[in-house]
Amino acid sequence: MINTHFLNIELKSPTVLASGILGLTASSMQRVIEFGCGAVTTKSFSLDWRTGHKNPSIIPFEHGMLNAVGLSNPGIDEMVKEIRLFRRQCTAPVFASIFGRTLDEFGEVTRRAAEAEPDMIEVNISCPNVHSEFGQPFGESCPDTAKITQIVKKHAGKIPVSIKLGPHGPGIGKLAKICEENGADAITAINTAGPGMLIDINVRKPVLANKTGGVSGPAILPIAVKSVYEVYRSVKIPIIGTGGITKTGDAIQMILAGAHILGVGTAVYYEGIEVFDKLNKGIENYLKEQGFDSIEEIRGAAHE
Amino acid sequence: MSDLMQTFPIRRIVEHGPGVKSFYFDKIFNVEAGQFINLWIPGLDEKPFSVSSITGDQIELSIKAYGPFSKEMMKKKAGDYLGIRGPFGKGFSFHDKALIIGGGIGIAPLRILAQKLKEQNNTFISLLGAVTRQEIIFSSWWDSLGQRHFTTDDGSLGLKGVVTDVLPEILKMNDIKYIYAAGPEIMFVKVKEMIDPTGIPYEFCMERYMKCGIGICGQCVLDGSGIRLCVEGPVLNKEALSGITELGMKHRDASGRRV
């Protein structure tokens, strides 16, 4: 496997479980590690538990997936327990994905999450399917992005922070720059795109209970690659390239665009949990065939 | 099979008693005994249901009015469109000289199991328990399948009591090589205590709150094993069950809390 350095964290492979996929419990995350995943990201959690949206909340379509889970989570007390349990059972790094309803809540969740000593805190400011409740995602506003980055950094202590951005809003390069200027240690790009909608033609109603939801999977790969490309151009901090990575070629494109490590989520549906092993081997083979010794040699190569 | 959301019309409805109905759809897919589908009532919710039988060119879902979803189902008419995704998960394996144990409405996946065991000339005994006689739908159908035992809490059908009252005697009097179970988990935990010492292998069809049905959301992952019940289950064998630390304990709700 390809050992990877990221923010002084040692990963056994460059593929990381993306937030929202199989990240609810220690048992679940540990199983993913057994399939070659280099680090796990928890499901996004908040101070208080949330039921999220009704079902259907996750629906595959021909070219990807549409979801409006609605940030359901058991709340920080439960999630801190699961992170600690994972720590006891597994040596792989764990990233805590957090969100808040208000700027202050972002600070409080960060402070509490830091107590569980995750290897990194990922800050979800770009969920596209809680619009009716939260309004426009914080991550689509430059001032809010700056404020949240500051608050989170203040409460995270020595734990590094990555801000998770979406492909929409005032430009992902510009937003990433704001994060960097306000102390972010990394950028996770991108969240799900959209929101989008699917309508059933027999009952003539939107399929998702929430009507709209974020788009993931192969459909958004080009958007994700372009977003990572833009972020790489605008900041020096490392990027967790996420969005539509399913096959080896997708992963390589992300690295060429400038990704440091790779978030993999929806691909678990297409390829099984084995997708982590498959991607790791695929990346290794590509490097060998093309005459490279490490990922570093090709990172951002598409910019040259 | 399709993971994508598609809607199909209800072809016919059969009422078995107050609040218990079977809904028939075209046989839009093949289904293994124990597999489930996600049923969507547009505008309301989507929930997992066991397919209870395949009859000719139709599949049957038998549903008992219980919560808001199943109560809404009782209002549905032939011709109404409902969403069906699936079938999902892994079903039962087939073995001869089996014992089928079921409790309450949980017996739904056991009907299709019995149907398939019979098709393949496997012999079996059935032991079904319920609170009262109305809960054991298709009792005459089970009668027609050979040796069967019913228990009800109130004694209105079969023996008064629960399945575990009768189980030791059945195991003593018969040469049972395999055991299947479905129903309340608390029932299964008691059954498991009795059958583990016998060394007879078994499979149990489990239930958990589910969202995606396709193994990505993590909602139905079982503590201790990391098994995704919607993909690696819902039918789990003895070995898989032995790794689960939450059997018979609190389950996760839609938020992920243990309640």
**Residue-level pLDDT, tens digit, chain B, 259 residues:** 589 999 999 999 999 888 889 999 999 888 999 999 999 999 999 999 999 898 889 999 999 898 999 999 999 999 999 999 999 999 999 999 999 999 987 888 899 999 999 999 999 999 999 998 887 878 888 888 888 999 999 999 999 999 999 999 999 999 999 999 999 999 999 999 999 999 999 999 999 999 999 999 999 999 999 999 999 999 999 999 999 999 988 888 889 898 8
**Catalytic machinery residues of A:** 127
What pLDDT, on the 0 to 100 scale, is given for residue A1?
A: 58
Lowest mean per-residue pLDDT among A135-149, A257-271, B128-142: B128-142
What pLDDT, on the 0 to 100 scale, is given for residue B146?
A: 81
Contacts of A304 (CB under 8 A, 6+ apart): none
Q: Where are the domains of chain A?
A: 4-52+68-195+215-303
Task: Judge: A62–B222 Cβ closer than 8 Å, yes or no.
Answer: no
Question: Does residue A231 contact residue A167 with C-beta atoms inside 8 Å?
Answer: no
What pLDDT, on the 0 to 100 scale, is given for residue A135?
A: 78
What pLDDT, on the 0 to 100 scale, is given for residue A232?
A: 98
Nearest Cα to Cα of residue B181 among B156, B157, B163: B163
Rounded to the nearest angstrom, the minimum Cα separation between B253 and chain A is: 8
What pLDDT, on the 0 to 100 scale, is given for residue A177?
A: 98
pLDDT in tens, A52-89: 999 999 999 999 999 999 999 999 999 999 999 999 99
Structural tokens at position B9:
């019309």
Rounded to the nearest angstrom, the minimum Cα separation between B14 and chain A is: 23
The minimal CB distance from B256 to the residues A56, A78, A269 is found for A78
Residues of A in contact with B216 (CB under 8 A): 21-22, 58, 65, 265-266, 268-269
User: Across chain A, what does the average pLDDT equal?
Assistant: 96
Instruction: Give yes or no for residue A199 having a pLDDT over 60.
Output: yes
Domain A4-52+68-195+215-303, what fold?
A: TIM Barrel (3.20.20)
Q: For each of the domains in chain B, give its residue range(s) and CATH number, in order of start.
A: 2-88 (2.40.30.10), 98-205 (3.40.50.80)
Residue A50 three-state SS: strand
Residues of A in contact with B4 (CB under 8 A): 59-62
pLDDT-derived band of residue A282, with 50, 70 and 90 as boundaries? very high
Rounded to the nearest angstrom, the minimum Cα separation between A293 and chain B is: 33
pLDDT-derived band of residue A255, with 50, 70 and 90 as boundaries? very high
